[in-house]
Amino acid sequence: MTITQLTHLFREEVPKPKKLQGDPYGIDATTEDIIRLIETDPDSLTVDNFSGYLGYCTTGGDDDLRFLFPPILRIWASELYQCDSWFTQCFHEELARTDFIERALSPKLKMAVHTFMVEALSDRIGSEASLKIEGATTSHNWFGFVASFGVFTTAIPDLWAKIWDSEQSGHAVAVLQYLSCLIYEESSPIFAPWTCEKGGGPPELWYFDSSGFEESWKPENANYMTAALSIERIIHWLRRTSILHSGTQIADLSKTFLDEATNNENEVEERVCLLLKALQTPSWTDIVTWDSLRATVKN
């Protein structure tokens, strides 16, 4: 699904909005600001054009967001590669707060948006290349993208299957990055410990890129990942990957992870359960360690 195809589908179904209501106080986009966005050539819109539109109070309403969605998605797809992009965070917050994709789009447009976003996220995740990460890097960002994606779409099954079943080395690297946070609790072979100077450390798998709007995963996504991250499937993936990428660092690390996961199946299963509980419980988004997550479950 290209942005041209997506734009064509939206233009067939979504008329230019006539009734617009911006922020009357001028803190975020005013009505005049939204009119300017709508009247501007969508191909010329950039990140800066949306600095007021995607703000604390976010958009004026469903009608203008539907009309502006194709250029916003075009910008979003490119911003996925930036480090700590304010645009992706604000966009994800808007979608999490309003449930716009699942609630305000027709089935046809929702399917098209799912397809476009899955392909864009898959491409971004497939660009991962490092199995030794020190400090805060763009590799940390995609974890939050996936966590938030499970909040505002029901498309986690499509995204995860596309990554998990892929034979591309970039996807294998990304899955190893993810599994390193489940298989190893205290010291990750991939992510160096956090430091005051460089930040970093293992990503928190339950941290939403869109934190602040009572986020939690949709049941469809959580149910799927309960099976997708079973210890049996993790072990099978590690064996398959070690063969598929034989002779590479990916294969070597897959074998190391396989030994660790096989010897500590119960511990890995427990962390998967804790992760899925955290993703389904908005009040837990501030938890920063596995031990604090365990303590919350006990209480």
Residue 151 lies in a domain: yes
Give the tokens for residue 43.
């191909």
Residues 20 and 155 in one domain: no
Does residue 8 register a pLDDT over 90? yes
Residues 114 and 261 in one domain: yes
Q: What percent of the chain has pLDDT above 90?
A: 72
Residues 10 and 151 in one domain: no
Q: What is the pTM of this model?
A: 0.94
Q: How far is CA 178 from CA 18, 21, 128, 182, in A?
A: 45, 42, 11, 7
- Name the residue range of residue 20's domain: 1-79
Residue 89 lies in a domain: no
Q: What is the pLDDT of residue 29?
A: 83
Find the Cα–Cα–Cα–Cα dihedral 217, 124, 251, 267, rounded to 10°.
Answer: -20
65-119: pLDDT as tens digits: 999 999 999 999 999 999 989 999 999 988 988 899 999 999 999 999 999 999 9
Residue 91 lies in a domain: no
* Alpha helices for the chain (secondary structure H): 3-13, 31-39, 62-79, 86-98, 100-104, 107-125, 138-152, 156-164, 169-183, 219-228, 231-244, 249-263, 265-279, 290-298
27-60: pLDDT as tens digits: 778 888 899 999 999 999 999 999 888 865 455 6
Residues 13 and 130 in one domain: no
Domain count, the chain: 2
Residue 184 lies in a domain: yes
Q: What is the pLDDT of residue 258?
A: 98
Residue 85 lies in a domain: no
> Residues, the chain, total?
299
- What average pLDDT score do residues 140-161 get? 96
Q: How far apart are CA 272 and CA 164, in angstroms?
A: 16
Residue 99 lies in a domain: no
Residue 84 lies in a domain: no
